Structure 1
Amino acid sequence: MNPPVRTSGTAIASLVFGIITWVGLPFIGALVAVICGHVARGEIRRMPPGEIDGDGLAIAGMILGYAQLALFLLGLLLFVGILIFGFSLSGMH
């Protein structure tokens, strides 16, 4: 009889932080989700097949984290662009 397959705790953490990043912890939660997702996928690949599960959870956490980081970067670029444009219109150099 085969022992039950356990789910990677790091993969679960990646998904949880991926969700949290959209609810209340934007930048830090995204970083944690991405890092945990990569760590979990490495952990799952190193184990014998069927011993540890959670690759899908890790991927979902990474997608949520990377999407949040992309939006954060886009917002930051937009903010800097508006500042530069505003200063150029006001004549302040």
Structure 2
Amino acid sequence: MNQIPKTSPLAITSLVTGLLGWTLLPLLGSLVAIVTGHMARSEIRRSRGVLDGDGLAMVGLVLGWLPVLIGVLGLVVIFMFLGGIAWLGTMG
């Protein structure tokens, strides 16, 4: 008799905290989404079909990593802008 796969609680946690990372808990939510998303995907692979929810974990990972990526790119742009202003200041 085939057993219906149970959804991984870590995958659900990753998805929920990934959403919270965009709303109420920007830094903490994103970090928890990233960690639990990786843990969930590993747990699902090891379960050999007993656990499901890889898609939820993947969405949680994307929702967790996007704010981190946007933040890093924002810092790069700010430093490039400030560096450009400093460089222009040395020209005169």
TM-score after normalising by structure 1: 0.82
Q: Deviations over 1:15-60 (max 9, x none)?
A: 01111111132233222211111100000111131x1111111010
User: Could you say which residue in structure 1 is the equivalent of 2:58?
Assistant: 59
- Correspondence for 2:86: 87
Equivalent position of 2:29 in the other structure: 29
Cα separation, 1, equivalents of 2:37 and 2:16: 11
* Structure 2 gap segments, 5+ residues each: none
State percent identity of aligned pairs. 43
After TM superposition, the score normalised by the length of structure 2 is 0.82
Structural RMSD (CA)? 1.8
